[in-house]
Amino acid sequence: MARKDRVEHAYGFEVYAPGTLTLDGVKLSRKVDEESYEQEVGALQKRAYGLQIENFLQRRRAIVVFEGWDAAGKGGAIKRLTALMDPRGYKVWPIAAPRDAEKRHHYLWRFWQRLPEDGELAVFDRSWYGRVLVERVEGFAKKAEWRRAYDEINAFERMLTDDGIRILKIFLHIDRRTQLERFERRETDKLRRYKLSEEDWRNRKRWKAYAKAIQEMLDRTHRPDAPWKVIPGDDKRFARLEVLRAVIALLEQEG
């Protein structure tokens, strides 16, 4: 029997009740000063590295999914997370639009190809949640396709967790003003200008539509076995420390 804070589905998984995790409930003003950051980040990176080695030796598998607004700091957070890790024990998968061959298959097919090997940590820089975010908002998926995707994704992840894979899903949340400031800085930075495209500006105009899609994603796929963690990203230092702490907690879980 499902607990009062959870909804039980016929496919055999439980989802936290809608509204358990909301964008509106995130305190975006949270910050950490540079001195405190420098004191903590090294120790957390060493702990993450030690757990990665334990994970490798015990042949345990884990997945960390990163989603978030454009310019929310996903790449920087992943860089700090993996800074000291042994590259033989993790893979980072940057996910873009599907290629022609991938379009001929079910949208989850390409992610099956990227699941972690024994002892491996797989980090997804964007993920299968594109079906209910960008593909939904931009009209790349039909309404019937993205509506049924919630159950497909829950069932997919439940198969993985039943098979012993630990899953954490991180959403980096920022406000519109912070995003605009980061876009403008990228425009004038020769080394970072490549990160900004016309598509980013177009997506920004659909902020409300994306916010609605994100909230529905959280409501329908935040589960005990594969939870979402929404991290305030207006202060990049704070977000990076929170990401490290969250992944450390994941790797510390008993399998």
What is 6-252's CATH superfamily? P-loop containing nucleotide triphosphate hydrolases (3.40.50.300)
Separation CA 178–CA 67 (nearest Å): 17
Give yes or no for residue 8 having a pLDDT over 80: no
Query: Per the structure block, which two tokens stand in for 91?
Result: 């893979």
Separation CA 254–CA 52 (nearest Å): 14
As a whole number of Å, the end-to-end CA separation of the chain is: 23
Query: Per the structure block, which two tokens stand in for 97?
Result: 């639009």
Close Cβ partners of 76 (under 8 Å, ≥ 6 residues apart): 236, 240
- What confidence score (pLDDT) does residue 111 get? 98
Interval 53-93: pLDDT, tens? 999 999 999 999 999 999 999 999 999 999 999 999 999 99
Interval 167-225: pLDDT, tens? 999 999 999 999 999 999 998 888 788 888 888 898 899 999 999 999 999 999 999 99
- What confidence score (pLDDT) does residue 117 get? 97
CB atoms near residue 133 (< 10 Å): 19
Domain ranges of the chain: 6-252
Separation CA 122–CA 250 (nearest Å): 13
Query: Per the structure block, which two tokens stand in for 70?
Result: 């454009």
Q: State mean pLDDT over 119-135.
A: 98
Q: State mean pLDDT over 37-54.
A: 97
Interval 86-105: pLDDT, tens? 999 999 999 999 999 999 99
Alpha-carbon distance values, 165 to 29, 96, 251 (Å): 34, 24, 11
- What confidence score (pLDDT) does residue 1 get? 44
* Higher-scoring residue by pLDDT: 187, 150: 150
- What confidence score (pLDDT) does residue 195 get? 81
- What confidence score (pLDDT) does residue 10 get? 59
